[in-house]
Structure 1
């Protein structure tokens, strides 16, 4: 295919991606999410098209900048960066043009400047040291051993079998296993060596000969070349002003040692390029572990097991001093210790100071066996606070080489691991994830097992049941996915369109012919999401305190993320026990409720309102109702101060209105909506309530007389509690009040965050 035909074909594919983002000309439902995948597949099968695609994408980005078409900037920029990560043969001029474009975007508001800054930092390193992005990505995702780049990543895929059908679980598991079956450490090391040398040497590298040589190399020789290439790249990337010429010279020496000086001489002399000049060097999919969700403790246990192997840890002396590796598999991984009765004074020993016992004597053996180890008390530095978010430092979990900055909890201690937790399901699954996240954060306040060395990233792919006659129920369970799609159009195009594709995959019969090459569309889409989805949207978690009608039953505490539904129980016992005089009070539907709430005002002044009304039910929603409220008050950035936080619930009350006329009494219902961050609701008569959290029937509470809802506070760490010691009672109370006012927000990663 000629160059002009290649450009036209790629141009049509790029325009198809742009049309999918346009509300005026949406793509067909069967093609949604396919255009971006097919575009990347074209350059994956023919890497020689990569420079042409980079030029086309860059031209479209510059056009969008001049026309102020901001809705396509972030999708095109992510597509361009994904191509640059995998491509070879990209000229320095194209890298510099892309870098200059990203620096111009820094003048735009968030999230455009945020995404552009991340891309600009990565491009600066890639321009000076070609192949850095690919190498770091493969090393981290495949857990390859490297002293110079010790970062590790893993994708934890959680599926709740109660919410997702067994056929879907089996189809996903088979696709993951099929794709990762050939991703051995040796194959990944060959990919790194081949791609780095091709990216740096360009046309001087005989790619086909190089790959055949690597295929026939022994494991020991392959490891030697792998570590040599990684050392050359990382040492050059760590320099303040890396020299591209010096980097090329070092890699040329490795290339000569691999193929011999004759091959390098042919490249320098500009000989005829071989026919197999640019064979494809694939980018392996990340290491994905498949888990069936059983309980909320499973997330914490899997993360601890991810960090447990000491052979994979490269920790500093400060972290070793904290003894964070002393993890036990049971008893909540708490360190067991015994109180020492030894004072440490020499005269208190069983023998006298003037007559030391002889070695091996019974006294020495008895003392050695009976002496207990003392309690190892952990002393935290006074300025160590519980981090407000588990977003790791950008230089670590985004592989940009950015300085760690405030990402270090202790001097010299950085997060070397990134856990990307991906959940599939509906709003009920997110409610269960929120409980696990809250439990994990609360556990971390007691012992910093994960926080100092783990960056936790949360991802969500909606997998709803196929639409049946109850289509309304289908839409109700996908409210959070719909919100994410309105907030981020690229999320809507890439992630929300996976639901029908996943069900279609599950319905396909299993292929017994293992020789066929199948392009795993769903796995590729998941991989693209977890790699490029680096911008979180923060969701407020709400705490519920529930009081039951039985006074002997202790109050229950729980949390919810999306919705709390209140239903009125039909209590025949309550109606029969009423006296004839009071029987008329209970007539009619619903129950008398007392609602006390703080009204949400733009002035942030506290205004408490108490009303009594008869209602048949209430719904407390934490998500905005429509597209006009995408940037609404429930999703503020984690840096927002409590006094400027507009966090509030949308409370809908189905109120009963009684009217009297000549025909008698009649009842009608009307829905009233108001906003509040805190609310207390109590039943005034003997009609009890049923609470349903996050639309989950497994999280229902019956026989409720009263409940309170408020934003869930960030768990307070031991360091924060010890910090208030030594202050006056007034100052201590102020410090604790200030600490409690900080809300707990759960981040879910998208491609751009909330696009205004």
Structure 2
């Protein structure tokens, strides 16, 4: 009876999650995301419910497949995989049904086949060696030292103190610290040993006695058991034809060593399931470091510190001279060719000599003169400066794909570490992240330090400042989060719901009693997001060249979401000549010359030049409607720029002059168009003010001209031809051709990418 009641309770919770995805009722809006969290908490408190929950989720997935309810497939699949990662005692039949279901999803379009493939790979690993997913996740996230699985992960939480209130920062920091104080390395090693033995041996491992023995074991003994379990699991996972009998035998030996000689006999007889009820084995939250973003290069510096070996944790004064675990210095690695600066002639030195012979030696007397090659070229792979993992397809987003391949990019070097950068804030924070990402990529083309060893994953949680009743209404600062919510409904239900919850946490009084057990809702949702959100949506970064004086070089910056143009109220010089008749009003706005390339489905270059009087412009890079998110599905894959929204939506507030009996009057009308690039210049004495990404700190005044275009990969100009035998015209053509590289796209991880 208890079993049926428990299954009925779990079924009601799962159906509540499904209703949450299928309805937009106002009554459910305030509690979105709570059902998924409470469902996972139920099996965390009582692990014996895990097999029942897996069966319920699997039945709902099969039902959604048969009824073609695709909008619930990915959320249910992520929920199921999160349960399987932590669960023990799942039957082989359930694993096989889940794997078969994922394989059937491979016939569906993206993102369903992409997510299903990732889940199928994990399921195959877990089925072959139960407990592998849990062990590898804990080892990487908690940085547990071992030789067989050397991967490391870290979550970098960045908050701009000027955009997020101090109370929110303090509340988040206290919740993170309170949770991680209990996650000592010893506790994490105990969790790994207990989970591996329980997943492989089941009820015969005497989990109650095992838990007590591990609690009483000293650090040295605990490390010995931990390394033995890791070795058994990783050796089994690395075998092409694994032997389950040998694997179970090795784990049985570890269990007997822990519990003593009498454990073998008790294990053969089996334990009492009522008396030896398995304790809850938690999955510790990842190691999160909290950072107040105050320095422009702070992101790059933190990533460099993360990659430093433990013996070199002190940051040197010159970050450019970095040596990462046996890699050549960054400057040596980045130089593809080395130009000789001598006369080109050298003595013929004996091969293999460490030092040149003495001037009076016979070798020097017999040595002749030999021409030395002026350039030494290195045989790096052709894509050394632009690894495939950094790039994505052209356009604002791609509908497929997890992170790029983590294979070897350089001989003997693979990316062992993952940095999950999570930013909290609004669109202004994302504009700052785009600046840092562009700077990091540009630095990597000069000093190739991070890319060979680091997988960079970007995450975003919207945190808006609460609106004061008397304050003027702020412009919309959550457009990108709203776009992500429209593109991925599971992101909307899980991540976008954190904004009000974080403000509620900040409003609560601080509790100094750390003995109370409190479920950290916000930390749990963040943990779920960074673990399961591995499908990126790529956003185009745009570069803007700003001219304050046409005779000087422009200033350059980048933006991600919006560029706003205002007309300054500048006056004509006193000695200036105005062709206008005295007493005739100029009218509002400024005369602008606008030259842009029209965005067409055919991708044919069509430039349009217009002159008009405008009171302001707004350039937006984020689609504003659901129709723009999904895009037309009949276009071929080559039609990426329009289909994937790699274009700007420009709104021009045009000033229209009209004449009537009362005199001349002015009205405004808004014209909109879509473009790939844009060049605007003021034709009269009026100056312009540019505001990037809605951030008042990124304001440019007294602008006479600016140019906007998709930001290219920073390495696009690294191979410009300088052959002297080419004519100047041919050389310019060569430079232009080689400079046309892929646009720079910034990935933000979601649960599924774009759901059509």
Superposed pair shares fold, TM > 0.5: yes
Q: CA RMSD in A?
A: 3.6
In structure 2, the residue matched to 1:451 is: 451
Secondary structure, aligned partner of 2:630:
coil
CA contact (8 A) 1:388 1:638 kept: no
1:214-258 deviations in Å (ceiling 9; x for gaps): 111121111111111111111111122334333222211211221
CA contact (8 A) 1:536 1:749 kept: yes
1:296-347 deviations in Å (ceiling 9; x for gaps): 211001000100125599xxxx9977414799xxxx9xxxxx9999979589
Q: Distance in 2 between matches of 1:739 and 1:642?
A: 18
User: 719, 722, 736: which one pairs with 1:721?
Assistant: 719
- Aligned pair 1:353/2:361, yes or no? yes
Q: Distance in 2 between matches of 1:553 and 1:559?
A: 19
Distance 1:584 1:127, change over 3 A: farther
1:245-272 deviations in Å (ceiling 9; x for gaps): 3322221121122113432332322342
1:107-166 deviations in Å (ceiling 9; x for gaps): 000000000000000000101100000000000000111211111000000000000001
In structure 2, the residue matched to 1:273 is: 273
Structure 1 gaps of 5+ residues are 333-337, 357-375, 393-401
Q: Distance in 1 between matches of 2:297 and 2:341?
A: 30
In structure 2, the residue matched to 1:372 is: none
Q: Distance in 2 between matches of 1:236 and 1:403?
A: 26
In structure 1, the residue matched to 2:460 is: 460
In structure 1, the residue matched to 2:328 is: 323
Secondary structure, aligned partner of 1:685:
coil
- Aligned pair 1:629/2:637, yes or no? no
Displacement of 1:388: 4.4
CA contact (8 A) 1:391 1:455 kept: no
In structure 2, the residue matched to 1:650 is: 649
CA contact (8 A) 1:574 1:687 kept: no
In structure 2, the residue matched to 1:438 is: 438
TM-score (ref. length: structure 1)? 0.88
In structure 1, the residue matched to 2:152 is: 152
Secondary structure, aligned partner of 1:527:
helix
Distance 1:248 1:324, change over 3 A: farther
1:30-87 deviations in Å (ceiling 9; x for gaps): 3111111111011101111111110111111001000100000000000000000011
Q: How does 1:263-412 map to 2 (within 5 A)?
A: 263-273=263-273, 275-309=275-309, 322-324=327-329, 345=349, 352-353=360-361, 379=378, 381-385=380-384, 386-390=386-390, 407-412=407-412
CA contact (8 A) 2:89 2:199 kept: yes
In structure 2, the residue matched to 1:423 is: 423
In structure 1, the residue matched to 2:213 is: 213
- Aligned pair 1:124/2:124, yes or no? yes
Q: Distance in 1 between matches of 2:57 and 2:722?
A: 55
1:360-390 deviations in Å (ceiling 9; x for gaps): xxxxxxxxxxxxxxxx999451424312443
Q: Distance in 1 between matches of 2:585 and 2:136?
A: 69
Q: Distance in 2 between matches of 1:46 and 1:193?
A: 19
Q: Distance in 2 between matches of 1:603 and 1:7?
A: 56
1:377-423 deviations in Å (ceiling 9; x for gaps): 9945142431244389xxxxxxxxx9996732123321000000000
CA contact (8 A) 1:138 1:188 kept: yes
Distance 1:727 1:410, change over 3 A: farther
In structure 2, the residue matched to 1:607 is: 606
Distance 1:151 1:673, change over 3 A: same
Distance 1:128 1:727, change over 3 A: farther
Q: How does 1:567-716 map to 2 (within 5 A)?
A: 567-573=566-572, 577-579=576-578, 581-582=580-581, 587-632=586-631, 647-716=646-715
CA contact (8 A) 2:601 2:639 kept: no
Q: Distance in 1 between matches of 2:716 and 2:646?
A: 23
Secondary structure, aligned partner of 2:715:
coil
User: How many residues are paired up?
Assistant: 717
In structure 2, the residue matched to 1:359 is: none
In structure 1, the residue matched to 2:173 is: 173
CA contact (8 A) 2:431 2:559 kept: yes
- Aligned pair 1:741/2:741, yes or no? yes
CA contact (8 A) 1:563 1:620 kept: yes
Q: How does 1:507-546 map to 2 (within 5 A)?
A: 507-546=507-546
CA contact (8 A) 2:151 2:417 kept: yes
Q: How does 1:163-242 map to 2 (within 5 A)?
A: 163-242=163-242
Q: Distance in 2 between matches of 1:46 and 1:186?
A: 23
Displacement of 1:25: 4.0
Distance 1:643 1:39, change over 3 A: closer
Distance 1:280 1:406, change over 3 A: closer
Q: Distance in 2 between matches of 1:355 and 1:388?
A: 49
Distance 1:686 1:582, change over 3 A: farther
CA contact (8 A) 2:389 2:404 kept: no
1:522-579 deviations in Å (ceiling 9; x for gaps): 000100000000000000000000111x456541001000000000000134599454
TM-score (ref. length: structure 2)? 0.88
Displacement of 1:186: 1.0
Distance 1:723 1:48, change over 3 A: farther
